[in-house]
Structures are given as C-alpha cells and as structure tokens.
Structure 1
Amino acid sequence: MSSESEVIVEYNPADVDRFIEIADAIEERYPSLMVDGQEIEGDTADGDLTFEVKAQDGHSLFSARQTKRFPDSAEILDAIAAAGVSES
C-alpha cells in the first residue's frame, strides 16, 4: 500500500454512521489516504454483515463477513499501519 493510496469501505447503507466514524479516523491519522465509501445493498436479516475494508490493490484490511462482527477504528488503523502506510 503506497502513501498515495485509497482505502475502500463497502458497507450497508444502514451502517453509514459506522462508515463515517471509521473514515474520519483514517483521514485524521493518514491525511494522504482517500477513503472511498461504497454502499452495498444487502440483506442483514440473515446475519450477513457487510462492512469490508480493503486497500486499493484489493488487500483485505478487515472483513465483517469473515469475523461476523464490525471493526473498531483502532483495529482498522492498526491494519493500515501493518500494511506499511506511514502517518504523514
């Protein structure tokens, strides 16, 4: 993940507040990153969570489908740091 990258967050429209919270935390810590939110319509009644966070190259930083839970901001920031992005 280069310093001039983008983080893509796919989320259910019902979770827009959660997306905004995560996006604000990313942009505060990593001002050189753009956060692209993509609303994905899905049926959450069956328990299938939609909150996927990926690097621009497709590398998964977090998957609610796999973990069966939503992330917190610190977890996403740690994943971005682990991907090699420096704070600047």
Structure 2
Amino acid sequence: MSDVTHISSLLLTAEPSRIASVVAEIETCAAVEVALTDPSGKIIVTLETPSEAEIVGELNRLSLIDGVVSAALVYHQSESGLSPIGQ
C-alpha cells in the first residue's frame, strides 16, 4: 500500500432544480466532500484518494448522477504521509 494521498477538486454543474438530490447522492461516498454549492447548479467537491485511478473512477461516477450536466477535474496534487478520508 502506498503512503501517497491524492487530493483533488472537481467542478460539477447540475440542473438547478435537482441540486439537492445531486448533493445528497454525492455525499454517499466517503472519499468525497461537498465544499460549496451555488443555486445556479455549480457544485465544488474535494476528493482524497489513494490513487489517481480512484480520482478518475469518482469523476466518472459523479458525472453519471442523474441531474449532473458536467463534471471536470480542476485541481490535483499528491502528498506523502497522509491518510485518505475514510481509511
């Protein structure tokens, strides 16, 4: 097991009328934290994962949530010696 933690942020755009249900679905994953929402449908989330592959997996999962219009990686860095959220 690697001692590297990957920290990233994503920008999601959701249909404004569905933002509450989208946020509720996002919050079901332990590695994802909703940092900010906007009534226009913008949602900023942060991820802490043990690998880049898990970032891609979460990005794909989030983009498939009903009501999400788009999902994009905005920032990524890796740090040694941190424990990912939920682990």
TM-score by length of 1: 0.39
More helix by share: 1
Q: Which has the higher contact order (CA 8 A, sep 6+)?
A: 2
More strand by share: 2
TM-score by length of 2: 0.39
